[in-house]
Amino acid sequence: MSPRLVLTGPMGVGKSTVGQLLAERLGVGYRDTDDDIVAAEGREISDIFVEDGEPAFRALEKAAVRQALASHDGVLSLGGGAILDADTRALLAGERVVYLSMDVEEAVRRTGLGAARPLLAVNPRRQWRELMEARRPLYEETATAVVPTDGRTPEEVAEAVLDALELKEA
């Protein structure tokens, strides 16, 4: 079993919203590995970061991605940092992976780059740029297609994903 498609991209890009729209259009289930982690741990991701640290969260994330890739055949959204793990990137080889991209101005508009984002607690705009400089090559490395989201509605992004992968609606 393998996902119909996997969405990656930075926090706030719209992976969950677009993923749910795509699942509905394709007539398949939707799953988000961040939701899997929250359900399994019984606490929010920001709490896991604060209480256990980023390495502990990344280990949970790696396990959640591995499980979801093995057991979910619908649309799958990964957390923004999931691609940092080399084993996860290797697991994504051969999958239909769509990197949803956005620039910093769009990130500010969508998220406000607020405190609920544990990796962006101090100087959020600079932190976001630095994260993206480190992550963009990894997103691109794993992507079958790149779909810019700047200035687009979730519906327009979902349509662009379907077009990029040449998928038909259910």
Q: Where are the domains of the chain?
A: 5-165
- Binding-site residue positions: 12-17, 34, 58, 80, 117, 135, 152
pLDDT tens per residue across span 26-47: 999 999 999 999 999 999 999 9
Q: Calculate mean pLDDT across residues 56-67.
A: 96
pLDDT of residue 168: 77
Question: If you average pLDDT over residues 159-163, what whole number do you get?
Answer: 96
Helix axes 45-52, 33-41, angle to 10 degrees: 60
Binding-site annotation, residues for ATP = 12-17, 117, 152
Residue type, 3: P
Q: Has residue 115 got a pLDDT over 50?
A: no
> Which residues are documented as binding site for substrate?
34, 58, 80, 135
Domain 5-165 has CATH 1.10.3720.10: no
Binned at pLDDT 50, 70 and 90, residue 129 comes out as: confident
pLDDT for res 44: 95
Q: How far apart are CA 10 and CA 74, in angstroms?
A: 21
The mean pLDDT of the chain is 89
Question: How large is the average pLDDT for residues 110-117?
Answer: 55
Binding positions for Mg(2+): 16
